[in-house]
Chains A and B, each alone.
Chain A
Amino acid sequence: MADVKNTGDTSYEMGMHTEQLSGRSQQIFFDSEDAENMAYPWAPDVDFNRRTEFDAAELNTKEINNQIRDLMKEGFGSIVIKNPGAKHSVAVGILSRLNLIIEGSLGYFGCGLIDGPNVRISGRVGWSFGENMMAGTVLIEKNAGSTFGAAIRGGDLVCKGSVGSRTGIDMKGGTIIVGGNTGAFSGFMMQRGRMIICGDAGKNLGDSMYDGTIYVGGKIADLGVDAVQDELTELETAWLKRKLSQYGLLEQKNVAQFTKIVAGKQLWSYDNLEPAEKKIIL
């Protein structure tokens, strides 16, 4: 039997190992074209140049989500939702490419389980937003609630404002970016991926994290068990600049001054391989 252990020492030092293992961007594709063209067999063939909108004020969650699916089946690739009214579980389970613009705020569990869409939200979002996100980009203009980006595996989840507690809890990949502050226990049991907090981080940051990297631009109240400070590399500084400028958050930030937090030790049984990769090794 092969010895299963973390073979990513080099990339770990470079701070790049996590990006290789995240959601749809997992490196299971042999070339970039395969990855770009990956789509579920049942995914509707949408045209990004076809744009439509609907008013969600009088619709319940199920009706809103069905409306999104119906419009995608009709080939609309850009959909605008007006007056979402902070309703829960809106825009969940979208497993294909789509430009979704939400004019207003969402409640709990918005955009959960998505795999591919680009979403822009002009308001605030509630608890557990983007839970289990696999791929795509989500940009929130205002604040977010607690457990933001819980257990995400891939994609970019961006909140320009501040977020609640336990941001990125059980995170397994992807990138979470917070323009403002984050609450206590952010990065709790983080396993992979990257989190950028431009403002201050609450207490117990990175508590019980196994892996992954957290970058903090402001003050850290205190670190959780097993989380330690590490040195920021030039490659990471370049990556931070690129990521923050991509979402309009770079202005007036000296990313070279960001604090980098990683796991000081890992759970004895932990490795950062995907199940498919384990099968190859074993």
Chain B
Amino acid sequence: MCGIAGLIHRGTQSDIGSEMTSMLQSLRHRGPDSTGFAVYSVPHADSYLIRFKVAEQEDIAAGGFKIHQEIEQRKVEVDRRLAELGVSILEEEQATEYAFRYRFSFEGDLENLAKYVEDVEDTEILSLGSALELIKDLGDATSVSEAYKLGGFHGTHGIGHTRMATESDVDIRSAHPYWAFPYNDISVVHNGQITNYWIMRREMERKGHRFMSSCDSELLAVYTADNLSNGATLEESLRSSIIEIDGVFTYLVATRNELGMAKDTMAAKPLVLYESDDLIALASEEVAIRAILPQEIDTYDPYDEEVRVWQT
């Protein structure tokens, strides 16, 4: 089933971390397996943010005594490679034993940096950019938010996802949101099933894109990255997806300063929308919007093939 949510403050900032946590916690019944957040702050002018993990939660449960040592070694190797590339780490945080956040300055090619870091065993970059911070792990919204200290995160917009695993495993790599590798600051959450996944995936792989999971939702992130890197606008990418991607889907895409949505031609997956001059909130169910806007509001369901994009 899965639950998706998103919100964007126009012309202002807010406690996006707490707001997204409240919205996603109220959608827990739609997906208890994992929760993910992609939240955006005002872009850092002279530095980048990277969030990466060097193991899965299940590796620790199954790995015995050696896994802790291996995690340390992988982290050391990531640091070594970053230093080799000339990266200067400005801030370093450890969210869990296997998940890290760095703010760093770098003047080289970010795609090469990403590929070199992900070449370390079991290492995956969750997000990379100047505004995006992507957090995802097993558990409900409150537990993930507390573990990663998301409460109090001030920013302009965000998207999130509660996952009920149907197409792939219950693990972090299959959890949403997906970062649109290697395109900075692009993230995607999705509710639905993509039926031409393998055809589209092979097409994307032939173009040189990488897939970290076998989750069909990752295709949307890669597809968006491909379109944007070829010069398409977010709205153009969303519109073309309705034609080129088969299945039933509703998905949200966030960029550094935009939030977009698209619904498939059957409108088979739910989305409720609230729109005012200074705030847009979207969710699979109105109860999520009520979690941050308890007062009486007007909401509606976007129709089939509907595409919308909002700016911060």
Residues of A within 8 A of B (CB): 85-88, 104-105, 107-108, 122-124, 126-127, 142-143, 145-146, 161-166, 183-185, 202-203
Contact with A along B272-297 (1 / 0, CB 8 A): 10000000000001110110001010
Q: Which of B287, B298, B304 contacts A142 (CB 8 A)?
A: B298
Q: Is A143 within 8 A of B298, CB to CB?
A: yes
The CA of A203 and the CA of B299, in the complex, are separated in Å by: 22
The 4 closest A-B pairs by CB, nearest first: A164-B301, A86-B286, A165-B267, A184-B304
Q: List 25 A-B contacts (CB under 8 A).
A: A86-B289, A104-B296, A105-B286, A105-B290, A105-B296, A108-B285, A122-B296, A142-B299, A143-B300, A145-B270, A145-B272, A145-B301, A164-B267, A164-B301, A164-B303, A165-B266, A165-B301, A165-B303, A183-B267, A183-B303, A184-B265, A184-B303, A184-B304, A202-B303, A202-B304
- Given known pairs A162-B300, A183-B303, the reply for A146 and B270 (CB within 8 Å) is yes
In the complex, which residue of chain A has the Cβ closest to the Cβ of B303? A183
| SS class, residues of chain A in contact with chain B | loop
Q: Is A88 within 8 A of B287, CB to CB?
A: yes
Residues of B within 8 A of A (CB): 265-268, 270, 272, 285-287, 289-290, 294, 296, 298-301, 303-304
Nearest CB of B to A167, in Å: 11
The CA of A165 and the CA of B289, in the complex, are separated in Å by: 21
* From B266, B272, B299, B301, residue with most partner A Cβ within 10 Å: B301
Q: Is B303 within 8 A of A124, CB to CB?
A: no
The CA of A85 and the CA of B272, in the complex, are separated in Å by: 14
- Given known pairs A107-B287, A184-B267, the reply for A203 and B304 (CB within 8 Å) is yes
**Residues of chain B contacted by A145 (CB below 8 angstroms):** 270, 272, 301
- Given known pairs A143-B300, A146-B301, the reply for A86 and B285 (CB within 8 Å) is yes
Q: Is A123 within 8 A of B301, CB to CB?
A: no
The CA of A163 and the CA of B299, in the complex, are separated in Å by: 11
Nearest CB of B to A243, in Å: 24
The CA of A164 and the CA of B286, in the complex, are separated in Å by: 14
In the complex, which residue of chain B has the Cβ closest to the Cβ of A183? B303
**Residues of chain B contacted by A143 (CB below 8 angstroms):** 298-301
